[in-house]
Chain A
């Protein structure tokens, strides 16, 4: 299964990222992973949080927020670990829209968040090829 990612629209203005994070902190929502995609005028803050539903409700009062399905996989924390997963998707014509690393206290594995143009297909491919897909209830709504 895929996990839920929170996306927040941020204008490239002083204090906006802080404001979004401050909103989450005030309600004790933990951020497990975070990435920012930015253009010259705006950015998209992408997060995996401990309570996506509550986080969305909080942030919506001030920000444009959406929830997207993403995949999180465990790869070997060694050269070529991620390359193998992406190679598999590439061979099967799946386009990866973005990727960022997931910060979690785990063992020798690195966690990577992936958004592709066909999450269902990607999920099946990765599972069938023995990649370890994170299916933590805590990250879903």
Chain B
């Protein structure tokens, strides 16, 4: 039985979220022109790239003219580390968030108060669409810290006036206690962690249905309708999807309403395009492709045509919830080899670099991502050879731990290292299969 009540949901900002498409386009164009000019005048990177493309801010006369502008990629963000893409003066920065960094160079984003307000607005919209009100308690069990993680959900809950509990991740026993003792009305975390919590209650002989939870925003990893059904049935909640990325603003760029037919993009703040990742052409409405975002209102680090590498499609028809904003489907894949494991972004290259740097190891390796229960696991298989093999289980276990520790330092999450016999792992003959993702997202 679901404790979620459809009558609790509401539209946080009807003026913006239910605008007519014409008015919205007009607003988007006005804001696009403004942010392009602002970026051009304040960020040398944009000035150079626009000049190179032979386009001036004044050339943007319609929304379609955005296609005249060059894309910005993750590499560009790394090359401008730490603050070369910041447009606002330093005295206006109030908070910084960072990604883990794939090649040792993280992407650092400084937020102005304006940016934090936008972020709070976006997540508040999402929280309202799952029914969060002023008198509610929202436990946020995404990570807190340098990652954008749970900060956005906290700000959004506070903007509504609800009580935000910055649980962060881990310490499952305390998570369970606070959920049932406070009690929490809403829980926001990765879907797999929510399921893990449900199972942890069951293990203690407590029916998760007896926890007064009503719903939450779940994301930061790929998940499926099956996982949603399981999560909703176990807790008796409405589990709605949330999407976002640090480079754009963090989780909250789009959030799903209770109709659950795609995530509504906060289009008055973020302008989406779908492109073919190979030809870079903008694709017609409804096509599946890589989603590209332009921030329309951010002042700290505006992004113009940021290539997310996330594959999705857009629906522009009006949603049954009454919102007119475009909806994006679940992320169905990536146009690069990025993995999302336990909500953390991992590039196989990061692991490869650790292995290549260790002289004791042969360059053959394999990464296996799986979800043995409900939590993701990365197994890294490496080869033992004549020089590294010692006649001692303790030494071999120690060797494994040493590798696992180095990998954890590089990617931020723990992995299981397995030793394989010499020459037993696939060698690179052209393109060796280095990564096997056994998780089922279909």
Contacts and interface: CB of A to CB of B under 8 A. Distances in A.
B377 to A, nearest CB: 14
Given A64-B388, A65-B386, A66-B386, A37 B421 contact: no
A97 B418 contact: no
Interface string B365-408: 00000000000000000001110111111001100000000000
Interface in B414-442: 418-424
A13 to B, nearest CB: 8
Interface in A4-47: 5, 7, 9-11, 16, 37, 39, 41-42, 44, 46
A9 B397 contact: no
B393 A62 contact: no
A115 B390 CA distance: 13
B393 A39 contact: yes
A37 B392 CA distance: 9
A11 B423 CA distance: 12
A5 B392 CA distance: 13
Most chain A beta carbons < 10 A, residue from B385, B391, B396? B391
B421 A39 contact: no
A112 to B, nearest CB: 17
A7 B386 CA distance: 11
A66 B423 contact: no
Contacts, number: 48
A46 B391 contact: yes
Contacts of A10: 421
B423 A44 contact: no
Interface in A97-134: 97, 115
Nearest to B392: A97
A139 interface: no
Task: Name which of A5, A60, A62, A63 has the most chain B CB atoms within 10 A of its CB.
Answer: A63
Judged by DSSP, the binding face of A is strand
Contacts of B420: 11
Interface string B37-71: 00000000000000000000000000000000000
Contact of B419 (A9, A60, A68, A115): A9
A7 B389 contact: yes
Contacts of A39: 393, 397
A96 B296 CA distance: 70
User: Which of A41, A65, A115 gathers most chain B CB within 10 Å?
Assistant: A41
B393 A11 contact: no
A63 B422 contact: yes
A48 to B, nearest CB: 13
A37 B419 contact: no
Nearest to B416: A41
Contact of B396 (A42, A63, A97): A42
A16 B421 contact: yes
Given A5-B391, A68-B391, A97-B392, A63 B419 contact: no
Contacts of A64: 384-386, 388-389, 421-422
Nearest to B424: A11
A7 B384 contact: no
Nearest to B389: A64
Contact of A41 (B391, B419, B424): B419
B386 to A, nearest CB: 6
Nearest to B388: A64
Contacts of B423: 62
B379 to A, nearest CB: 10
Contact of A44 (B386, B391, B418, B422): B391
Contact of B391 (A11, A16, A60, A66): A66
B107 to A, nearest CB: 36
B393 A44 contact: yes
Nearest to A40: B418
A103 B418 CA distance: 33
Contacts of A63: 421-422
A37 B390 CA distance: 13
B393 A37 contact: yes
A68 B386 CA distance: 13
A101 B421 CA distance: 27
Contact of B389 (A5, A62, A65): A65
Nearest to B422: A64
A42 B419 CA distance: 7
Contacts of B384: 9, 64
Interface in B131-151: none
Interface of A: 5, 7, 9-11, 16, 37, 39, 41-42, 44, 46, 60, 62-66, 68, 97, 115
11 contacts: A7-B391, A9-B396, A11-B420, A16-B421, A42-B396, A60-B386, A62-B423, A63-B421, A66-B386, A66-B389, A115-B391
9 residue pairs, one from A and one from B, having the closest CB atoms:
A64-B389, A7-B391, A68-B391, A64-B384, A9-B389, A11-B421, A66-B389, A9-B384, A66-B391
